[in-house]
Amino acid sequence: MWVIYVIMPNYLRAGFEGGYYFFTVVTFGRTAIFNTELARQCLEQAIRRTQKQHPFETIAFCLLPNHLHCVWKLPEGDADFSRRWSSIKGWFSREYLRSGGRGGHVSASRKRKAEVSVWQRRFWEHRIRDEKDLQRHVDYIHYNPLRHGLVAKVKDWPWSTYHRYVKEGFYGHADDFDEIAGTDEKHFGE
C-alpha cells in the first residue's frame, strides 16, 4: 500500500530563536516610494517604534527606492521576526498614508483583508549560518546600490550602514570595497 503526501506551500518561516537573519522587503508593485523624505522618515520612525516594543539589533541596512535589505540580530529565546515586520509595515503604512503618501491600487483581495497597497505581502528571509555567511550578506547589502546602478561608487549611497562600517574600520579604505564585494554577487530574494 502506497501513501502519498502532498506538501502544499504555506510560507513557513525559519523558527530559530535568537540569531542573525537577512531580509529583503519590497514595496507594492516595486513602487519607488523611498525616493521621498516623507517615506524615509516614516520608515525610520516605524523601525524605532517596533524596536522599543520588540527589540532587535540592526547589523546592516540599505534602503533603496523600492526595497530594503537588512540583517538583524534577534534576542536569545526570540525568533519572531514576522511580528516585527508586521509592526514595521503597519506603523509605516498608517503614518505614510496619513501624512500624504500614496499607496498602489487596492485589489478586491486586499479590501477583504483590510490591507493597503504599500508593501508586498511577504518578505524574503534567510537565517545566517556562520560568520562567513554573515559577511557575505553584509557585503551584499552594502554593494546593492551599485548593483542596481544607483551610484558609481558604494560610498555615494547615503541610506546604508556602509558608512558606519567604514568609519569603524571594517572595510579599510572606502574605494576598495566596490571591487571586492562585486566579485561574489548573488541574488537574495529580489
Q: Which region, left, alpha or beta, applies to residue 114 given φ > 0 means left and ψ of -120 to 50 means alpha?
A: left
Cα–Cα distance for residue pair 141/157, rounded to 1 Å:
12
Residue 106: what residue type?
V
CA nearest neighbour of 33 among 100, 130, 122, 111: 100
Report CA-CA distances (Å) from 58 to 138, 169, 180. Answer: 11, 18, 23
Query: Quick one: pLDDT band at residue 105, thresholds 50, 70, 90?
Result: very low
Furthest-apart CA pair in the chain: how many Å?
66
Q: What is the dihedral of CA 46, 140, 153, 65, to 10 degrees?
A: -40
Q: Are the C-beta atoms of residues 56 and 72 closer than 8 Å to each other?
A: yes
Q: What's the whole-number mean pLDDT along residues 69-73?
A: 96
Domain spans, the chain: 19-184
> How far apart, in whole angstroms, are the C-alpha atoms of residue 42 and residue 93?
8
For the domain 19-184, what is the CATH code? Answer: 3.30.70.1290
pTM metric for this prediction: 0.81
- 122-169 per-position pLDDT tens digit: 889 999 988 889 999 999 999 999 999 999 999 999 999 999 999 888
pLDDT digits (tens, 9 = 90+) for 23-66: 999 998 899 999 999 999 999 999 999 999 999 999 999 999 99
